[in-house]
Structure formats: structure tokens, C-alpha cells
Structure 1
Amino acid sequence: MSCAFSLLESCHLPCSRYLSTTFRFSRGFYQMQRPIKHKTLCLCRNMQTFACELVKASYVPTPQTKPKDQSLAKVETIGAFQKLPMVMPSVDIFQSALRKAKRVLPTKGIANVAKRERNRGAKQLDALMKELAVPLRGYIENFPKRIYLHPYERSLIELTFGAGNYEEVLKKVDALRKKVVSVGKEHASLCAKSLSKKEAEERLTEGLEKLQEIFKCEGQAIDDLLYIAKTLRAMPVVDLEMPTLCLVGAPNVGKSSLVRLLSTGKPEVCNYPFTTRGILMGHITLDYQHFQVTDTPGLLKRCDEDRNNLEKLTLAVLSHLPTAILYVHDLSGQCGMSPSDQFMIYKEISERFGNHLWLDVISKCDLLKESPVVFITEDREVDHLELANYQKIGPEGALRVSVKNEDGIDKLKKKVHELLMSQMERIKSKRIQDNIEVLR
């Protein structure tokens, strides 16, 4: 049998409408007192509630478990990479810690030389251990766990460093920290038990050399973490509240040239496939409004299992970011891929990401006046009306542009502006819907 009681601190104020009742809890029972002859207002503060279990006519408090904090599993918003701590090289960490440790003096007032020396040695080893362990613990705590990251940033980590490598480096850093703490405490304890000044000095030197050896052998994990931090911090930041235009297509179809023409982004432009080696960002300002533009690596005709990490980066952007798609086609064949292969890629992407706002663009239209390049790999036996139309005029409603002659560029900019404004309306509607869900 259990019951709950509330302990109240009461104060009585004159009032003509309320009658107070006071409860007193004493020795397993409660008494109700009502000797009040006037009307008062009872105000309660500092209410505390606890549960009791009735055991042999006495009340015994029972432990109460706190509810689990659901906010711990909250997924981070985009931008976690810019919050990463600055990581020092392993050599600098050790040298800085060693300088600080050697400045530690023995406790004042120790007259005995042997006691003073072992006190100094133990304190310096303990200080060195702490100076090494504290920054490592800070790295472990401040580098986010991958499961709490935004799905887009989670994909960037996996595709940039490989599956599990990010967590493996953090585990090695934590293992190094634990080893430093263990060895530091062990040698500090040995130094504190020295029987002479010479023995204390020897154990101090031995402890310093042991910690240096550990850091030299296993400090590569810190340098690996430094590389990870630099790479992630250099990743382009995407604003989820700002409309984003994502250029997609096969390699070398002219996506980077259009990004340079439409935005402030300056990706490398070369006449060979996979010039774009990552996600590149630019910005557009139209009618005093700011938009984002992202250039993505080209896609090849193959299944997802056979795609390289560059192609998977493109799919990660389309899967996890609210983008409008500007799909670029090259019917001239100058990109190195036949129109029929481009058509197959286009059909796959349009079916997978058909919920995105979409605009088709045929680039290099100045080359279409000449005879198109015929590929040996072209499937001539395919009797498909849609494919035949695609090879001649591209997708229905596609814009024809030429960066070289600037043909159709003004019309493209107008269409891009309309597309991004529609994307802005979609983002606003999504935000309103999310707020309604929160209120519910």
C-alpha cells in the first residue's frame, strides 16, 4: 500500500470568500485542524511531493525514477561542422603540456630533500597527465556523434572518410586519453613512494619518457582528428531556410559553367569528366533576394551499389536537402556520354526525385547546329518514341542555352528566379506546417 503527501508552506491572508484547512503530518498519521474562526485566503508555495509505502504501520519513502530526457536524442540542425573545436597537432599538445608540467614546484615547507623531490616528481607527472588528458577529453565531448547529425552532414562524413572511420578515430583518441591517465597515475604513485632523492628523479624521468613514448606511438589518432576537423570545417554551409538550386546531370555537360554564369560560385571548368570533386556552393541575388546554388558531381549510368562517392554526394544532396533541380543535358555528345545513356540517367533521377521543383536545360546548343556525335555504344535498335524525341529535342519544355554565345541566358535567369520563388513558398509552407505540428 502506498500513498503520496504534499508538504506545503502556507501563509494566511484575510479574505471573505475562502476558508483554510491545514494538514499536519506526524508519526504515520495526519490530523486535520479546523479551529479557524475567521475567513482567510491560503497561499501555498514550495510544494514538494513524495511517495511512501506503508510497512508495519509506518511510512517508508520509496525511490522515484526520473523520466528519461527525450531531448538527448534530438537531431542537430545543419551547421555542426562549423562548431567543431580547434585540434592541435599531437607534437604541440605534448610540448605545451611538458612545459607547463615542468613549471610545477613542490609543496612549500618540506624540509627533507627526498620528500621534497618525490613530491615535486609526483606533482609534475600528475600535471603532465592532466594537461594531456584534458584537451583529449574536450575533443571527445565536442565532436558530435554521427547519429545526432543532420542526415546530409551524416552522409558527408561517411562519403568523405568512409564508413565508420570517423567513429574509429574518435575511439582511438579516447583510448589514448585513457592510457595517458592510467600510466600517468601509475608513475606518479611510484614517484611518491620513492625512498631517496635519486630514486625520485629516476622515476620522474621514467614517467616523462613513458608518456612521451605513448604520445609518439599513438598520437597519430590526434593528427587524423585534426585532418577530419579541417576537412569538415571547409565543407560548404547550406542554409535550410534559403531556397537552393541544385545543378544535376552527367559529367562534363556544362553544370559548372552555368554555376559560374548564374551565381557567385567559381567552380573549376575543364573539358573532362568529374572536374567537380565535391559539393560547391554559390549565391544568387535577384530583386534584392538571396538564393543558393550548388554544383554537384556528374552521374553515370549504373546502379547505386556501383556508384563512386562523388556520385553518392550528389544523391545525398537531393535526398536530404530541400532543393529545386536544374537538370542539365548535352545532346551534342561532346560530354563523352551518349544521349541515350543520358536519357536513362535522367529517367531514373526524375522518378526518384520527382517531388522536387524541376527545370530542364539543354546546354551547348551552339553545337547542335552541327551534326551530333554518334557513339558506337548507342543502342540503335531501341524503338522508343520518348527516347527518339529526347535525342532530337531533349525533354519536353527544356530551355536551350549556350554559355559560349550566351544564347538563352536571360530567359534561363528568369526561369531560375521563378523556380526559386516557388521554392521559397514551399519552404514557408513547410515551416508553417512544422509550427502547427509543434503546437499540437
Structure 2
Amino acid sequence: MNALLRGESIRMPMIFETLPTTPTSEELIDKAFSRATRAGRAKSGIQAQQSMLQTASNILSDNLQNIVTAWPDFEEVDPFYYELADAVVNVDEIRKSLSEIQWASRKTKDIGREYQGKLRGDINYARKVRKQGFARLASIVEEVEDDLDRINAARNDLRDLPDIDPADPTVVVAGYPNVGKSSFVNTITNARNEIAEYPFTTKGIHVGHFERDHIRYQIVDTPGLLDRPADERNGIESQAVSALTHLADCILFFVDPSAYCGYPLDAQLELRDSVEEQFGDVPVLTVCNKSDLSTDVEADLYMSIEEDENVTGTLDAAVEAIGYEPELPFDG
């Protein structure tokens, strides 16, 4: 059961939202050298040059390191969030950029030590050496300018990922447009306040919650993703669907046998079959919605949201299919 296996991963529905802004190379250099100038004013002679060099080196090294450590270890990110992140920003590219910034952090520290050892002799020579050290420091930071820009752009994109907790048992609602998916989610949850657009869909993901036996369940409607055949999805959408395979514990696939939704029943059932194939062992329950108009389809459940018929029963069936049992503390 997917939900029971997620406990080993970090629970992080908000982890990307808290990523700090990444400064540009110019901002880092200006910050380091202005602080160094102030530090130099507090001393005189060679000591002033030593203080300036040490301050600039420390600020650059520490700030670059802070950029790296602010990011999560992607090896520990829940597979759901890993694949969503990879769909939006390409995780391998982010790792490479973080590695380059880590290198720059170490290099600026090393340059500071190297040039400290050269600061001797008369003040004019020491000032010349310190300026050479500053030039080397600036060159290292400029070398990772593109990496800093890439990290900040990724941070901005990832802040828009959905606030979904992969540890919660989750029902995913699928089916063609206009078959009643959003109406169902809105009816059983407070999802009207939880609708947002994300980089992999222009229509927004609907996320709601409900409780059964003191257990919190998520229910997710994904317009733009699971409402059309796989060959009509772009690359980002396909990877977002792949991420959902790590999230879903049960899928309610809605069909409208009356075809009032605008799609023939055969096409709806073909989409259902493709969803079943893509989600592997996840239980998929076929829900005949609008049963007040037609029940001319073989389905697991028959329901009419319009007539308030079997809405609760459909939800009960999803909960039963998930079979979630929370881990209880060891007694005795």
C-alpha cells in the first residue's frame, strides 16, 4: 500500500516553499567587498589588508555554502515531489549547479587562505596582493553566475508545486472533462478553498480533505492531466502523471454513459483502461456518474451528484479500497 511505504521519506509538502531567494553573482560580490571595506577601516597597515581579505573570503564562502545547504537532499525527497520537481526544473541540472556552487564555496575559502600567506612586506605590496586576491575571489563567483541564476529560477518555479502531503492516504479522481469530478470533490470536501494552478497544468489541481475514523484523507482532481489520453499530454504533463503514481492509493474514474459530457462512452472507457495500465497495482474503481440520466455501462459504483444518490457510498468504497491502517504505538 503506497501510503504505508512513504514513512521512510521526508514529509515535505512545504519544503520548496521555504527555499530562500538566491543572490546573483553581482550581489554576492558587492556584499562581500563592501563588508570587507568596512572591516578594513577598523584597522590599519597590513592588518587592514588582512582583515579585508579574510572578511571577503568568509562572506563569499559562507553565503555560497548557505545556498547549497538550503536545498533538500533529493535522494531523501518523497518520490512524488521528486518527480514533480524533475518535471518542472530538471533535478539533474539543479544538482550540477549546486555542486558547482559548492565548489565555489570551497575555492573562495582556499583563495582567502592562499593570499593571507602572501600579505607581508610593506603596505603598498600588501595592498597589491589583497587586490589580486579580490580579483581571484570575484572571478570564482562570476564563474558560477549561470548556476546561481538557474538555482534561483528553479526556486521560483518549485514554490508553485501543490501543497500535498504524500504521507496521507490519497484518492485521485480521473475521467474526461464534465463528468462530475470537481463537483464530487467540492461536495465531500472543502476543496473550493484549495484550488491552484501549477507549472504542469493550465487548469489547476483541486485538492480536498475529508476524515474517516479520525484518519485524514486527501482527494485530488487533476484537470489537464488525467482527463485526456496519454498521447495528448506534453512531456511535463506526462511526468506529472508519473509522479501521481507515487501518490495515489485509489483512483475513482468517473464515466458519463449518457455522453452528456461531450465524449463518447467508448473513448471514456479507453481512457480508463490507460489509467489502469499506468497506475499499475493501484485500485481503480469505475464510477458511473449521472446515473439519473443513464446506467448503461458496467461500473463498480453508480452515483448521481445532481440527485445526491450514493455520493457517500462512493467515498466509502474508495476508503475501503485503500484499506489504510495507521501505525499504532507499541503497547506494553
Q: Does the C-alpha gap of structure 1 residues 243 and 149 become closer, same or farther in structure 2, counting only changes over 3 Å? A: closer
Matching of residue 276 in structure 1 with residue 203 in structure 2: yes
The correspondence for 2:309, drawn from 411, 418, 422, is 411
User: Is the 1:248–1:295 contact (alpha carbons within 8 Å) kept by the matching residues of 2?
Assistant: yes
Q: Does the C-alpha gap of structure 1 residues 180 and 354 become closer, same or farther in structure 2, counting only changes over 3 Å? A: closer
Equivalent residue runs for 1:358-373 within 5 Å:
358-362=284-288
User: Is the 1:299–1:311 contact (alpha carbons within 8 Å) kept by the matching residues of 2?
Assistant: no
Task: Give how far 1:103 is off.
Answer: 2.7
Matching of residue 196 in structure 1 with residue 94 in structure 2: no
The correspondence for 2:33, drawn from 86, 98, 107, is 98
1:422 corresponds in structure 2 to 320
Report the 3-state secondary structure (helix = DSSP H, G, I; strand = E; otherwise coil) of the residue aligned with 2:33: helix
Task: Give how far 1:169 is off.
Answer: 2.3
Matching of residue 229 in structure 1 with residue 155 in structure 2: yes
Determine the C-alpha separation between the residues in 2 that align with 1:411 and 1:101.
72
Determine the C-alpha separation between the residues in 2 that align with 1:294 and 1:92.
41
Matching of residue 86 in structure 1 with residue 12 in structure 2: no
2:243 corresponds in structure 1 to 316
Tell me the C-alpha RMSD between the 2 structures.
4.0
Task: Give how far 1:217 is off.
Answer: 5.0
**Runs of at least 5 residues in structure 2 that lack an aligned partner in the other structure:** 1-6
Task: Give how far 1:344 is off.
Answer: 1.8
2:106 corresponds in structure 1 to 178
User: Is the 2:182–2:221 contact (alpha carbons within 8 Å) kept by the matching residues of 1?
Assistant: yes
2:68 partner amino acid = I
1:359-417 alpha-carbon deviations (Å, 9 max, x no partner) = 43345779x68xxxxxxxxxxxxxxxxxxxxxx8234244344xxxx514x33531244
2:297 corresponds in structure 1 to 394
Q: Return the structure number with greater relative CO, CA threshold 8 A, min gap 6.
A: 2
Q: Does the C-alpha gap of structure 1 residues 77 and 161 become closer, same or farther in structure 2, counting only changes over 3 Å? A: same
Task: Give how far 1:234 is off.
Answer: 4.2
The structure that is strand-richer by fraction is 1
Determine the C-alpha separation between the residues in 2 that align with 1:240 and 1:123.
49
Determine the C-alpha separation between the residues in 2 that align with 1:123 and 1:358.
67
1:95-120 alpha-carbon deviations (Å, 9 max, x no partner) = 43334322324897xxxxxxx53332
Determine the C-alpha separation between the residues in 2 that align with 1:418 and 1:315.
26
Task: Give how far 1:257 is off.
Answer: 4.5
Determine the C-alpha separation between the residues in 2 that align with 1:423 and 1:400.
17
2:4 corresponds in structure 1 to none
1:252-280 alpha-carbon deviations (Å, 9 max, x no partner) = 655344434432224379xxxx6435x54
1:55-102 alpha-carbon deviations (Å, 9 max, x no partner) = xxxxxxxxxxxxxxxxxxx95333175276534423544443334322
1:117 corresponds in structure 2 to 45
2:219 corresponds in structure 1 to 293
Matching of residue 325 in structure 1 with residue 251 in structure 2: yes
The correspondence for 1:132, drawn from 60, 66, 91, is 60
User: Is the 1:157–1:166 contact (alpha carbons within 8 Å) kept by the matching residues of 2?
Assistant: no
Determine the C-alpha separation between the residues in 2 that align with 1:207 and 1:334.
73
Determine the C-alpha separation between the residues in 2 that align with 1:162 and 1:139.
18
Aligned length: 316
TM-score normalized by the length of structure 2: 0.74
Q: Which has the higher Rg, Structure 1 or Structure 2? A: 1
Q: Does the C-alpha gap of structure 1 residues 323 and 362 become closer, same or farther in structure 2, counting only changes over 3 Å? A: same
Matching of residue 342 in structure 1 with residue 268 in structure 2: yes
Determine the C-alpha separation between the residues in 1 that align with 2:85 and 2:114.
38
Q: Does the C-alpha gap of structure 1 residues 95 and 281 become closer, same or farther in structure 2, counting only changes over 3 Å? A: farther
User: Is the 1:243–1:420 contact (alpha carbons within 8 Å) kept by the matching residues of 2?
Assistant: no
Determine the C-alpha separation between the residues in 2 that align with 1:362 and 1:151.
32
1:319-362 alpha-carbon deviations (Å, 9 max, x no partner) = 32352222122456576754323322212333554744544334
Task: Give how far 1:246 is off.
Answer: 1.1
Q: Does the C-alpha gap of structure 1 residues 176 and 154 become closer, same or farther in structure 2, counting only changes over 3 Å? A: same
User: Is the 1:283–1:293 contact (alpha carbons within 8 Å) kept by the matching residues of 2?
Assistant: yes
1:145 corresponds in structure 2 to 73
Report the 3-state secondary structure (helix = DSSP H, G, I; strand = E; otherwise coil) of the residue aligned with 1:96: helix
Determine the C-alpha separation between the residues in 2 that align with 1:231 and 1:258.
30
Q: Does the C-alpha gap of structure 1 residues 200 and 135 become closer, same or farther in structure 2, counting only changes over 3 Å? A: same
**Runs of at least 5 residues in structure 1 that lack an aligned partner in the other structure:** 1-73, 109-115, 370-391
Matching of residue 246 in structure 1 with residue 149 in structure 2: no
User: Is the 1:94–1:132 contact (alpha carbons within 8 Å) kept by the matching residues of 2?
Assistant: yes
Identity %: 20
Equivalent residue runs for 1:28-43 within 5 Å:
none
Report the 3-state secondary structure (helix = DSSP H, G, I; strand = E; otherwise coil) of the residue aligned with 2:15: helix
2:145 corresponds in structure 1 to 219
TM-score normalized by the length of structure 1: 0.59
Report the 3-state secondary structure (helix = DSSP H, G, I; strand = E; otherwise coil) of the residue aligned with 2:60: helix
1:59 corresponds in structure 2 to none
